[in-house]
Structure 1
Amino acid sequence: MTHGSTGTIAPTQSYRRTSRELAYLSAPIALTQLAQVALTTTDTVMMGLISIEALAAGGLAITLFNQLRTMGVGLVTAVGNLVSGAVGRGERAGAQTTTSETEDEIRDIVRSSFLIATVAGLLGGLLLVALGYGLRFVGQDAGVLDMAMPMLAALAPGLVPCLWFQVIRQYTVGMRRPKALLLITIASVVINIGLNWVFIYGTFGIPALGLPGIGIATSLVYLVTFLIFAGMVRRDETLAPMFSLAMHRSNPGTVRKILRLGVPIAGTYGSEAGLFSVTAVIIGSFGAPALAAHTVVNQLTYIVFQVSVGISHGSSILVSRFIGLGEAIKSRMTAKVAFSHGAIVVACVGAVYLLAPEALLGLFMDTSDEAATSIAVTLLAIAVFQQFADSAQNIGIGLLRGAEDTTSSFAITLIGYWVVGLPVGLLCAYWLGLQAPGMWIGLSCGLLTAAVLLLRTFRKRLDAIEAQTVS
């Protein structure tokens, strides 16, 4: 068979054919991820227009927000799998459309997910503000924290609609009706830019709020995009009957099932995000120029990281398909293609980092600030290697997930990030006196360790699956 409208896989899985399959699955995911990151990218750009101090404070606030947002998203990521499983069981029973029993099951999954998202968003918002106060006791610059606190308070309410949006996203994907996610996200970027300008500088009778205005704009964007997405689902004849916001009617057993799957995913997501959050806090103790430089370079690498997210999800789907077909051996070619595609993207971006660092940095910050610019140029050079490692470990997590192994990923990330990455970073930053660049060297070492362990575990997992198939 050849790849056509049915999306089937050819018996002989060449590199070229696998590349097409992977691109077909990965590109839409990567584009949507990139559009979402454009929100924080525009925030970073507009913070840089205010001042270096605002960039440092706003970057710290966004880092903490992203930490909690990422873990919250992990809690509801399994919703798509649960919905898809319910639909599959209904189809296996011979129904051409979802039965009443299947509809009830999906409806309960959706409203239980909204309950989890609401509680996680409220608790996360309180924790976000508490973290801001707690940073005063770990050596953060007092001036930076004074600027960051109002923004943290403005960002906190946005966690709830942000997680609500993710619930709908997983629901529509699980139902194989993903709607216009990319268009919604692009629209949100345009709205975000407009609201940022209004709240930062003041217009239409609204006072100039400066940095906190960016936080207010971000929270409003999350609310608006949720309402747009919810409206689209309610007008869909297939999705509307099972779309329930009646959180008070959630089944405790369903809530426990979602959490049982979601907590390990949240742990895996949070492990990496936590390492970057801790890194930002430590770098903040080296002064505003160092934190501003870290904020800009971290945002640049985060943009590129979304491509590897797409490749990771696409390769995960392919591996699951091959294993389901009893052709696990083809997953080895999938891994080869995924890693090579990720490496090509990172190599191209890395060349730009090395050849035109100040031109790139000038898009986000005032390069006349020699202290911040000097640090940022150094971080960009380190980021070339860091992104190879980060892309590889992210793809490795996806490959293992496709092989139905999620617990190993969590354990490996704990080892790579916290047993290797953070200690090496602290050693380089303080004992060797490298400060911010030292922490980035530690990040790179931790990510590389995780990548190697993930690939090794994936190979062993495939060996076991192939042995079972033969027997």
Structure 2
Amino acid sequence: MNFSQYTKEFSENIKLAYPVILGMLGHTLIGIVDNIMVGKLGSTELAAVSLGNSFIFVAMSLGIGFSTAITPIIAEADAENDDKKIRSAFHHGLLLCTILGVALFVLIVLAKPLMYLMHQPKEVVDLANPYIDWVAFSLIPVIVYQGYKQFADGLSETKYSMYAIFMANVVHIFFNYVLIYGVWIFPKLGILGAALGTVISRIMMVVFMHYILKYNKRMKIYFKDFSFKQIKKSMIRKIVNLGFPSAMQMLFEVALFTAAIWLSGTISKNSQAANQIALTLATMTFMFAMGLSVTAMIRVGNQKGLNDYKNLVVVAKSIFLLAIIVEIVFALFFILFHTYLPHLFLDMENSNQILDNKEVISIAAQLLLVAAVFQISDGIQVVVLGALRGLQDVKIPMYITFVAYWIVGFPISFYLGLYTNLKAAGIWIGLLAGLTSAALFLYIRFHNLTKKLIKINNRLTN
């Protein structure tokens, strides 16, 4: 096949991916706004929010991972023009997302005592406790929103979730500002105000998403006739069988990066600060690969519904190629500006911080060179994972990601970070090894599976 067969798919890929990318950057912005506004209250408050959000982030990754099961089922049904199956997947998915949201809320509230076992300062934990209660409650609307989002994504309507996220950011900034600092008629609530701002914005996000989809000309037919009598074990089983391994895949990766934060903290506070800087930058660029991963899930799901496995491979490989090009651009950006970018995150005017800043910049610059390479591995593994989800193949990829991140990646991070002079850079070399292993073996899985499906399809059609 010539190169142009892949590049001609780029415009369709970008059309689907850019709203997802902007929406994900909007999600990230909510956390950044919290950090900036709470940071002005003091370092204890910022530490409390950071500790609380680390709990919430793990739970949210489970909910988001699980909800991705809805998209490939709906994308396949959309290609088959099966409105009944689309409605069923949407209603069952929304019900399961609601139950999961409530379960995660309860789980996080019950897990709060773990904070006292994490050797955190008592004043930080005391502040984090009420913050977690409210932000944990916001998991319910977030996971319900994911049900709506994955439904719309499955129908190739990716822009509505982008609108909802933008609206949520406006609401979040307003309520954060007035409730944290006590503006006008609003009480001054400190970090509790940040928590309430998050809850209000996420509830509004769900309400907005519900009404924008319910009154959409194409999608309103799927909002009719919801009844518990129509809930079927077969569809619940199908979503759970796809959702659980997807949730585990996301959890394995999130846990690996959380472990990297913990390992950096055991080396020194400057290593942890440098890790946070590099991780923030890498997360921003990762959103582009995530957008293409959702595109792969939708488009591969469509081709599966059409039983066109030859074109499915062309479409998938066009997305892989686009992801590689995008990530190479980011890799070059990181290499060119690796000594400059860390300055953006530090107070360079503070004379008391000169020595610390110098060390943080030196470490972060090294990490960005490693991040430049792992951008490419991370981009490939996440888009191939999206394509496999589109094929509704999730169990084997779950095992692949566990082995790649925790049998290959983590031991290398642990050894190089704590037992060699590489320190923080060694931790990131371990991350690179884990992501590269995942990219390689997930691609082999995709290649072998599609080859097998093409053979079976040829046999049936001949």
Q: 1:383 aligns with which of 341, 349, 371?
A: 371
Q: Counterpart of 1:273?
A: 254
Q: Does 1:33 align with 2:21?
A: no
> 1:71 — aligned with what?
62
Tell whether the 8 Å contact from 1:48 to 1:364 is kept in structure 2 after alignment: no
Alpha-carbon contact 1:342-1:392 (below 8 Å) kept:
yes
Deviates further, 287-296 or 447-456 = 287-296
How is 1:39-438 mapped onto 2 (pairs within 5 angstroms)? 39-50=30-41, 54-83=45-74, 91=81, 102=84, 109-140=89-120, 145-174=125-154, 180-236=160-216, 239-240=219-220, 242-243=222-223, 251=231, 253=233, 254-286=235-267, 289-320=270-301, 328-329=309-310, 333-334=314-315, 336-357=317-338, 360-367=341-348, 368=350, 369=353, 370-371=355-356, 373-374=360-361, 375-432=363-420, 434-438=422-426
Cα deviation for residue 15 of structure 1 reads 3.6
Q: d(CA) in 2 for partners of 1:199 and 1:70?
A: 27
The corresponding residue for 1:467 is: 455
Contact 1:69 1:159 (C-alpha < 8 Å) held by counterparts: yes
Q: Quote the Cα distance in structure 2 between the aligned partners of 1:443 and 1:128.
A: 27
The yes-or-no answer on 1:455 pairing with 2:443 is: yes
Paired residues, number: 451
Contact 2:330-2:375 within 8 A present in 1 as well:
no
CA contact (8 A) 1:429 1:439 kept: yes
Q: Give TM-score scaled by structure 2 length.
A: 0.83
Residue 164 to residue 348, structure 1, CA distance change in 2 (3 Å): same
Question: Once the 2 structures are TM-superposed, how far is the Cα of residue 20 of structure 1 from its aligned partner?
Answer: 3.1
Pair 376,199 (structure 1): closer, same or farther in 2 beyond 3 Å: farther
CA RMSD of aligned residues (A): 3.5
Contact 1:107/1:242 (<8 A) preserved: yes
Query: Residues 260-282 of structure 1, C-alpha deviation per residue, up to 9 Å, x if partnerless?
Result: 33212212222212222333344
Indicate if the aligned counterparts of 2:153 and 2:298 stay in contact, CA closer than 8 A.
no
Alignment CA distance shift 1:321-1:258 (3 Å): closer
Contact 2:339 2:365 in 1 (8 A): yes
* d(CA) in 1 for partners of 2:307, 2:157: 28
Q: Which moved more, 1:130-139 or 1:239-248?
A: 239-248
Unpaired stretches in structure 1, ≥5 consecutive residues: 1-9, 93-97
**In structure 1, what is the Cα distance between the partners aligned to 2:237 and 2:137?**
25
Compute the displacement of 1:364 (Å).
Answer: 4.3
What code does the residue aligned with 2:172 have? N
CA distance in 1, matches of 2:217, 2:12: 31
Q: Contact (CA 8 Å) 2:76, 2:304: kept in 1 or not?
A: no
1:449, 1:299 → 2: CA distance? 23
- Paired residue for 1:20, among 11, 36, 44? 11
Stretch of structure 1 that moved more, 265-274 or 287-296: 287-296
What whole-Å deviation, never above 9, does each CA across 1:160-196 have from its counterpart, x for those lacking one? 0111111122333445666633222112222222222
Q: Kindly tell me: are residues 383 and 195 of structure 1, through their superposed partners in 2, closer, same or farther at Cα, counting changes over 3 Å? A: farther
Q: Deviations over 1:357-382 (max 9, x none)?
A: 56544544535545363344443333
| Runs of 5+ unmatched residues, structure 2 | none
- The two structures have a TM-score, normalised by structure 1, of 0.81
Q: Distance in 2 between matches of 1:336 and 1:243?
A: 35
Is the 8 Å Cα contact of residues 71 and 153 (structure 2) preserved in structure 1? yes
8 Å contact kept, 2:164–2:205: yes
1:422 Cα deviation after fit: 1.3
Aligned amino acid, residue 30 of structure 2: L
Q: Is the 8 A contact 1:162 1:226 kept in 2?
A: yes
Distance in 2 (alpha carbons) for counterparts of 1:414 and 1:358: 33
Instruction: Describe the SS at the equivalent of 1:204.
Output: coil
- How many percent of aligned residue pairs carry the same amino acid? 25
Amino acid at match of 1:136: Y
Q: Measure how far apart 1:410 and its partner are.
A: 0.9
Which amino acid is 2:322 matched to? Answer: H
Checking the alignment, whether the CA contact within 8 Å between 2:79 and 2:302 is kept in structure 1 is no
